[in-house]
Amino acid sequence: DAGVTQSPTHLIKTRGQQVTLRCSPKSGHDTVSWYQQALGQGPQFIFQYYEEEERQRGNFPDRFSGHQYPNYSSELNVNALLLGDSALYLCASSFRQGGAGGYTFGSGTRLTVV
């Protein structure tokens, strides 16, 4: 039973560029949430996707956008990258928005902006 898969594992981008991170949820899960974790900090909620729509959003600018596909996989897009966007980006999947059955986190994508 595959868990949450995130790709790529590491990424280096230049300021001003755009980046796309990908997440495949755990089998049986239909909801995907994205979190940003800066070094030495706890994860911060970015947004959640369910039924291919953004359902909730944290305090992140419009430069952060996402998408969910019919197979429940999801993408996180960040435009006009800033140095401060350097972080570990975590994807969490669950069954339904309420997380019945629990949340499963992926291993994350480490984004470095130079």
Binding region for another protein (CB under 8 A) out of 21-29, 63-71, 77-85, 90-98: 90-98
- Return the number of the residue (16 or 61) whose C-beta is nearest another protein: 61
Closest residue by Cα to residue 22 from 72, 86, 59, 83: 72
Distance CA 110, CA 114 (A): 13
The residues near 71 (Cβ < 8 Å, ≥ 6 apart) are none
* Smallest gap from residue 16 Cβ to another protein (A): 26
* Smallest gap from residue 20 Cβ to another protein (A): 20
Decide: helix, strand or coil at residue 99: coil
Structure token digits, residue 9: 């594992």
Interface with another protein by CB under 8 A: which residues?
4, 31, 33, 35, 37, 39-45, 48, 55-56, 58, 88, 90, 92, 94, 97-99, 102-108, 110
